[in-house]
Structure 1
Amino acid sequence: MANYSEAYVAFDTSKLRNAVAIAEGGRAGDVRFFGEIDNTPTAVRRLVKKLSGKYGRLTFCYEAGPTGYGVHRLISDLGHRCDVVAPSLIPKKPGDRVKTNRRDAVGLAKLLRAGELTAVWVPDERHEAMRDLTRARDTAVADQRAKCQQVTALLLRLGRHYPGKSKWGKAHWAWLSKQELAQPEQRIVFEEMLLALRQVQERIQRLEEAIRAAVPEWSLEPVVTALMALRGIDLVSAATFLAEIGDLSRFRTPRELMGYLGLVPSENSTGETIRRGPITKAGNRRARRVLVESAWSYRYPPRVGRAKQPRVEAAPPAVRTIAWKAQTRLYARYRALLRRGKLKTVVITALARELAGFIWAVSREVALSPTQAN
Structure 2
Amino acid sequence: MRSVGLDLGARHIAYCEVCDGKVVERTSVQQIEQLKGRLGPGTLPAIVAFEAAREAWFVHDLLRTWGHEPKIVDTTRLKTIGIGHHKRKNDALDAEHLAIAVEQGRIPEAHVLSVEGRELREQLSVRQALVETRAGYVTTIRGLARAHGKSVATCDISNFVTHLEATEMNPGLQKLVAPLAAMLKVLDEQLVRVEEKLQNLAGRDPRIRLCATAPGVGLIVGATFMSVMDDAHRFKNAHAVSAYLGLVPSESTTGGPSKRRLGGITKQGNPHARAMLVQAAHSLLRTRKHAGDPIRLWGMNIAKKKGRSIAAVAVARRLAGVLWAMCRDGAFYDPNTATKGTFQKKSMRGSDETQRTVALRRATKKLQRRYTRRKTSEVTMT
Task: From 203, 225, 232, give the equivalent of 2:190.
Answer: 203
2:300 maps to 335
Distance 1:271 1:116, change over 3 A: farther
Distance 1:370 1:175, change over 3 A: closer
Residue range with higher mean Cα deviation, 237-246 or 173-182:
173-182
Task: From 144, 147, 154, give the equivalent of 1:154.
Answer: 144
CA contact 1:11–1:21 (8 Å) conserved in 2: yes
Matches within 5 A, 1:53-202: 58-91=46-79, 92=82, 96-162=86-152, 166=155, 168=157, 173-174=162-163, 176-181=165-170, 184=172, 186-202=173-189
1:8 maps to a residue whose letter is S
- In structure 2, C-alpha distance between the alignment counterparts of 1:339 and 1:126, rounded to whole Å: 41
Q: CA RMSD in A?
A: 3.0
Task: From 269, 273, 283, give the equivalent of 1:297.
Answer: 283
1:269 maps to 253
1:19 maps to a residue whose letter is A
1:314 maps to none
TM-score (norm 2): 0.77
- In structure 2, C-alpha distance between the alignment counterparts of 1:46 and 1:109, rounded to whole Å: 14
Indicate the structure with greater helix content.
Answer: 2
1:251 CA drift (Å): 0.9
- In structure 1, C-alpha distance between the alignment counterparts of 2:92 and 2:209, rounded to whole Å: 47
Q: How many equivalent pairs are there?
A: 331
Distance 1:143 1:95, change over 3 A: same
Gaps of 5+ in 1: 1-5, 53-57, 305-323
Task: From 207, 221, 240, give the equivalent of 1:256.
Answer: 240
Residue 47 in structure 1 maps to residue 27 in structure 2: no
Deviations 1:238-280 (A, max 9, x none): 1222123322221121111111000000111111343211101
1:178 maps to a residue whose letter is T
CA contact 1:254–1:360 (8 Å) conserved in 2: yes
Structure 1 runs, 4 residues or longer, greater than 6 Å off: 367-373
1:208 CA drift (Å): 0.5
CA contact 2:249–2:264 (8 Å) conserved in 1: yes
Residue range with higher mean Cα deviation, 97-106 or 288-297:
97-106
- In structure 2, C-alpha distance between the alignment counterparts of 1:371 and 1:7, rounded to whole Å: 49
2:324 maps to 360
1:172 CA drift (Å): 8.2
SS at 1:69 equivalent: helix
1:282 maps to 268
CA contact 2:158–2:188 (8 Å) conserved in 1: no
Matches within 5 A, 1:26-45: 29-32=20-23, 34-36=25-27, 38=29, 39-41=31-33, 43-44=35-36
2:132 maps to a residue whose letter is A
1:60 maps to a residue whose letter is V
CA contact 1:85–1:120 (8 Å) conserved in 2: yes
Distance 1:171 1:222, change over 3 A: closer
CA contact 2:56–2:72 (8 Å) conserved in 1: no
SS at 1:145 equivalent: helix
1:371 CA drift (Å): 11
1:362 CA drift (Å): 0.6
TM-score (norm 1): 0.78
SS at 1:74 equivalent: helix
1:209 maps to a residue whose letter is E
- In structure 1, C-alpha distance between the alignment counterparts of 2:188 and 2:323, rounded to whole Å: 30
Distance 1:94 1:269, change over 3 A: farther
1:113 CA drift (Å): 3.7
Residue range with higher mean Cα deviation, 106-115 or 63-72:
106-115
2:60 maps to a residue whose letter is H
SS at 1:160 equivalent: coil
CA contact 1:261–1:283 (8 Å) conserved in 2: yes
1:212 CA drift (Å): 1.3
1:313 maps to none
1:176 CA drift (Å): 4.4
- In structure 1, C-alpha distance between the alignment counterparts of 2:53 and 2:157, rounded to whole Å: 38
Residue range with higher mean Cα deviation, 167-176 or 30-39:
167-176
CA contact 1:83–1:119 (8 Å) conserved in 2: yes
1:21 maps to 16
2:199 maps to 212
1:215 CA drift (Å): 2.9
Distance 1:33 1:354, change over 3 A: farther
Deviations 1:13-68 (A, max 9, x none): 235643222343xxxx222151226434473474364444xxxxx42210111323
CA contact 1:262–1:282 (8 Å) conserved in 2: yes
1:291 CA drift (Å): 0.8
Distance 1:187 1:276, change over 3 A: same
1:364 maps to a residue whose letter is R
Distance 1:75 1:253, change over 3 A: same
Identity of aligned residues (%): 22
Distance 1:149 1:288, change over 3 A: same
Deviations 1:139-162 (A, max 9, x none): 111111111111111112122234
CA contact 2:282–2:312 (8 Å) conserved in 1: yes
